[in-house]
Structure 1
Amino acid sequence: MKSKENFTAADFEIEKIEPNTLNLLTHLVTSVMQNESAASELYEFLQCKKETAKESIREIYVFVWFYPGFQLSLLNSICSAYTTNTPSSLESILKLVTLLCEEYVVVRNILQHKLDTSLHPFLCAASVDFSERIKLSVLEIYCSILKTVTNTHCNLIPFSDILPITLRVINQPETRLKVKGTYLLFLIISVQVATEETHQKYSSRGLEYTVQTVDRFNAVDMVIGPLVMHGVNTRNPLLLKNVFRIYLKLCEKSNVRTKILEDKMPEGMFSKEIYSILKNDYELNELHKKIAKVMK
């Protein structure tokens, strides 16, 4: 892969893409640039190719993303959401971006040019401005980005932006946003950056940033602490799993573990009610056992 900012189709191994597929891709991408509703059709096509043609999916994703004018078309569609896009059209576009973010070259391009900042208004806006589904779709994009870059040499994650935004999302009343938000928070603090070309050594970049200052850790702790009781009250094992994983990750830092032990244990962590949930979920029960062991 050439090291430059403005890629063209000539920079990729286009010969790996079957001629018929290439022709259809060109047609679909051009349609998206002219008609936003075509994003759904392109998304479905890429999903199909992902399942049936894994050997060429990288070239397909990269070709679509760097097709002349495509990025600008997507950005315009996303940024005009307040005035022109219908929720269904916007959701298709966001799903399409999520899929493309499974390719490292795409994610690196997004982060280098700070294209992800166009997504921030969706997460920061009041619930009445954008639906829960739209916010979940945006969170899924960030989940895809973090999964793609962790354990690579990419050190471009905008932690200073995405961490406070994620905490704000988790604080919103909708339980599904809390579940997806805590999953994203776990991915944030789990980001590792390779420090050697051989990928044998890694820096815990996400965890280091999250606990770098007392105020930053306190902000995280204040948000996730009450979620244990919320998960118990709503009997939501997915939320509890995410919260437990976050605490276990944070406790990898001995000073953080000490502070958590010194502070009051999250309400409901060892309540009678939580054990009634644990007995019906093996994975959750195992995570809780690890929490109990760490918290001793």
Structure 2
Amino acid sequence: MTTLGAVFRPQLAPERLRSVVRAADAAGLDELWLWEDCFREGGISTGAAALAWSERLCVGVGLLPVPLRNVAVTAMEAASLYRMFPGRPILGVGHGVQDWMGQVGARAGSPLTLLREHLIALRALLAGETVTTKGRYVALDDVALDWPPPGPVDVLAGGMGPRTVRLTGEAADGTILTADTSADGVRQACALMREGRVAAGRDPDVHRVVVYLLTATGAGARERLEAELVAEGHAPDADLGVAGDAHAVADAVRRLAEAGADTVVLQPTGDEPDPEGFVRFAAEDVRPLLT
């Protein structure tokens, strides 16, 4: 069965998070996803708060830009969340938006090399290994976590371009695809992930695929969706996103699931007028149509 999530967009003030988390938890939403977009909320801080304010909700952070963090810090923070809230955190990393990374002096000469090195070291540290490595960007000397997760955890990675998507199959446990990904795009991405896993000698059939779906519902839904598509550089009638009622949204979710998505995360428009209502809509109206 397809896992269904929704995004708390960082265009909302941090103090709004608690009410959205409570609404999502009460409504039975599978997952609530957070973004660490520059220069808005921090992913680990909001993720920890969301987990603490909920009882059963899984909370995804998609994604943490690796140029901003030493991998040991990423591992320490991730392990703390996994131990304090077993089975509920979902963390994804990525090479970040290069213009943003440049603004803070963290732009890497080879974002793919950085992401690969970070993923390999992060997964090893979270597996409880002692890591010594000296790469182009990641250097660790006899580093091990005192408090690693008690069991295996998945590390996801975000990707858009073909080389990055292939790398996520090679070095991550799952892939996060943006809302710019159509159903055909999901199929193409899944093929690239599979290539990466085969090349790395990993099981090509074990890899989680998370896809965001730009979603608008209620009054003015079509207009809000088209305005956001245009703002993102797409034609207003691009084959991306969905506007309409629960049946229309469920149909769009099914198309992505049939293309290979394990999890579809409904992404409201940046001007969504009722974020609490949106997560309730996802859980109470769309979710039942997917069973």
Tell me the TM-score normalized by structure 1. Answer: 0.31
The answer to which structure, 1 or 2, has the higher relative contact order (CA under 8 A, 6+ apart) is 2
Tell me the TM-score normalized by structure 2. Answer: 0.31
Higher strand share: 2
Higher helix share: 1
